[in-house]
Structure 1
């Protein structure tokens, strides 16, 4: 058996098939894919990778008693994410933000993943093409699942929004019923709901993050139009694709690309436009992201599952505010 150590969940022994998949090129590529898309270009501290997240999802599933097959699905669930993650959805104006899901089977088939799985007596079609069977890994919003839980805990812990002690209390409160994860305490449900909105509203819609997404998406769109990059290039790593953009800008080859790249600067000053500025259309960027809401079920008296919002006014208000914010989008002022 091989051991992996995760900064959130601890040390785990994993099956040989998982070790071989981790060492494979498709999973190793994820070390070069930042989970926050363009965010690391405008704030180097925003540096969590898809690899970090994929390992985390895998071991969280194991921690909760999930099968090796579900751990495989968890490890590989993001393997088709392109360079700069969800930025590609803004390049192609894909409002569902699911481009990586559309190309998932193609990416898997064009890799050594089916061969590795077959070597260990698994069929990729049985494991990777139907997420609905893996109820720890994925659940429809607003419920909890390993994917949703891990990216929230990982980002917010890494970026100093929550503490290790709080994470430990949350993990201790999780329970599994019929292969799905639930909470047992309404106080913990309130804590996670608040933390989740720090992630999908506070971080995803942070003015600097929105600025980075918008600027990089414009750069990539222009580079595609001018034939400096092609769709297949998105299946490389962030810095490999960035190198192609920088090459187009070098020596004044393309001044427009160069100007856009120069704007991806950690020292840029941006702020959210005021209501008055929005009404006067005195803003530089307006960007909406997919609406993401959470309302986890809580186990009451060890027998009944109740939606957290039924038990908590705080959760109702958090959800209402988050929906309004996400639906409206973020308006950004860039200060020259």
Structure 2
């Protein structure tokens, strides 16, 4: 099986367990779950999917020499993301934005994934414990496959950063034991700048915030009126929207009409209609020094230190938006 990825290039997948998992209904559903939640509804160019990201994480782990078990874990790590991703966290008022983690086990158990893993001799209890992996997940502010992939992928497609720059950065990465680091402060500064473009400039973009909050209104009304149930959040984006539209409820139709493409919005702290404060996300990559030790990049670069403080201030403040 050949996979051609826009970030990591061409790979031949010859392991039957990966091929079977890739074709499961659970993984294929992610093709209809947008990474940016409601973003594609207000800007059609913001259309990356959880499927692209999940396959990307798997390939990144493969590229960095991760085991087959960790590649499987990477492919499956987002399998329980609901329709519209983190928008459902806003509907359910999940402050940690982790509803998908709460339902992870039940989503797996209701799929064909356990049978496939068992048939190929993989223990799902081991696979789904993030503490077992050095590449897939690491606590903030460290680098890991998950946050590296969604940052590189979104910024490549939305900001149009040069492909050659991404390849240069990937060659600067080093994995030794449980530590992922970069080999130069230049690489650290490059990625930190890119990461804040992702989690501040993109995640908190006024149009993105507008779309998320307006869709939250739609879903909340539909749920309160009984047109959808919590289990419907496990559908893909368009299936959930279709169910809402079929209600023919005038108040829902009115709210859905506000999710128009490229609607004009502005930031306005005094007369805002929508407000969103995202989870605090910051990055401080480890840099591998010539003597083999590691240093936090913020200790080596005033630029990174300043950028991080500004990003934290913006995330704590949130985004205030109104229609223009």
Q: TM-score normalized by structure 2?
A: 0.98
Contact kept? 2:126, 2:132, Cα under 8 Å: no
- Matches of 1:194 and 1:178, distance apart in 2: 26
User: What is the Cα deviation at residue 177 of structure 1?
Assistant: 1.0
May I ask how many residue pairs the two structures share in their alignment?
323
How far off its partner does 1:3 sit?
2.6
Structure 1 position 174 matched with structure 2 position 173: yes
Q: In the aligned structure 1, how far is the partner of 2:73 from the partner of 2:200? A: 28
CA distance in structure 2 between the aligned counterparts of 1:236 and 1:103, rounded to whole angstroms: 13
Query: What is aligned with 1:111?
Result: 111
Q: Deviations over 1:180-200 (max 9, x none)?
A: 321011011001000000000
Equivalence for 1:269: 264
Matches within 5 A, 1:250-261: 254-261=249-256
Contact kept? 2:37, 2:84, Cα under 8 Å: yes
Compute the displacement of 1:285 (Å): 1.2
Conservation of the 8 A alpha-carbon contact between 2:89 and 2:95: yes
Query: 1:320 corresponds to which residue?
Result: 309
Q: CA deviation at 1:161?
A: 4.1
Instruction: Specify the SS of the correspondent of 1:159.
Output: helix
Provide runs of 4+ in structure 1 moved above 6 Å: none
Indicate whether 1:294 and 2:283 are aligned: yes
Is residue 50 of structure 2 the alignment partner of residue 62 of structure 1?
A: no
- Structure 2 unaligned blocks of 5 or more: none
Secondary structure at the residue paired with 1:192? helix
SS of equivalent to 1:94: coil
For 1:98, the equivalent position in structure 2 comes to 98
Look up the match of 2:226.
227
Deviation readout 1:202-229 (Å, 9 max, x if unpaired): 1000000000000000110000010110
Q: How far is 1:246 from its partner?
A: 1.4
Question: Quick one: distance in 1 between partners of 2:291 and 2:153?
Answer: 29
Answer yes or no: is the 8 Å Cα contact 1:145–1:180 preserved in 2: no
TM-score of the aligned structures, taking structure 1 as reference length: 0.94
The 8 Å contact of residues 309 and 316 in structure 1, kept in 2 or not, is answered as yes
Q: 2: distance between equivalents of 1:270 and 1:138? A: 35
> Structure 1 stretches of 5 or more lacking a match?
none
Query: Quick one: distance in 1 between partners of 2:262 and 2:283?
Result: 33
Cα deviation digits, residues 205-262 of structure 1 (max 9, x gap): 000000000000011000001011011111111000010111123xxxx211011100
Distance 2:185 2:214 in 1: 40
